[in-house]
Structure 1
Amino acid sequence: MSRGGEDFDGQVARLQGLLAALDGVGEPAAADAARELVQVVIEMHGMALSELMSLIGEAGAQPADTLPPKLAANPRVRGLLLLHDLHPDDLATRAGQALDRLRPHLAVQGVRAELAGVANGAVRVTLTASGQKSNRPSAEVLRREIEETLLDMAPDATDLVIDGLETASGAQEVYVPISAIARAG
Structure 2
Amino acid sequence: MSDVLDERAAEAAGRVDRLLGRLGDLADPEARSLAEDLVRAVSDLYGAGLARVVQLTARSAGLPGDHPACGCLEALTEDELVGGLLALHDLHPSDLRARVERAVAGVVDGRDGSDATVLEVDGSRGRVRVRLLVAATALTGPDQVERRLRRALASAAPELEEVVVERPPVPTPVRLLARR
Provide closer, same or farther for how the CA distance between residues 98 and 30 of structure 1 changes in structure 2, counting only shifts above 3 A. Answer: same
1:93 is aligned to 98
Distance 2:168 2:158 in 1: 21
Using structure 2 for the length normalisation, give the TM-score.
Answer: 0.57
- Among 129, 134, 152, the alignment partner of 2:155 is 152
Cα shift at 1:121: 4.9
Matched, 1:136 2:140: yes
Residue 45 of structure 1 aligns to a residue whose secondary structure is helix
* Count of residues paired in the alignment: 136
Distance 1:32 1:117 in 2: 39
Cα shift at 1:96: 0.8
Q: Deviations over 1:20-71 (max 9, x none)?
A: xxxxxxx993212211211111111212222221232222143237634738
Greater helix percent: which structure? 1
Using structure 1 for the length normalisation, give the TM-score.
Answer: 0.55
Distance 1:28 1:149 in 2: 35
Name the amino acid aligned to 1:40: V
Distance 1:44 1:66 in 2: 20
CA radius of gyration, larger in? 1
In structure 1, the gaps of 5 or more residues are: 1-26, 174-185
2:67 is aligned to 67
1:127 is aligned to 132
Provide closer, same or farther for how the CA distance between residues 118 and 75 of structure 1 changes in structure 2, counting only shifts above 3 A. Answer: closer
Residue 67 of structure 1 aligns to a residue whose secondary structure is coil
Tell me, yes or no, if the aligned pair for 1:92 and 1:118 is still in contact at 8 Å: yes
Cα shift at 1:87: 5.6
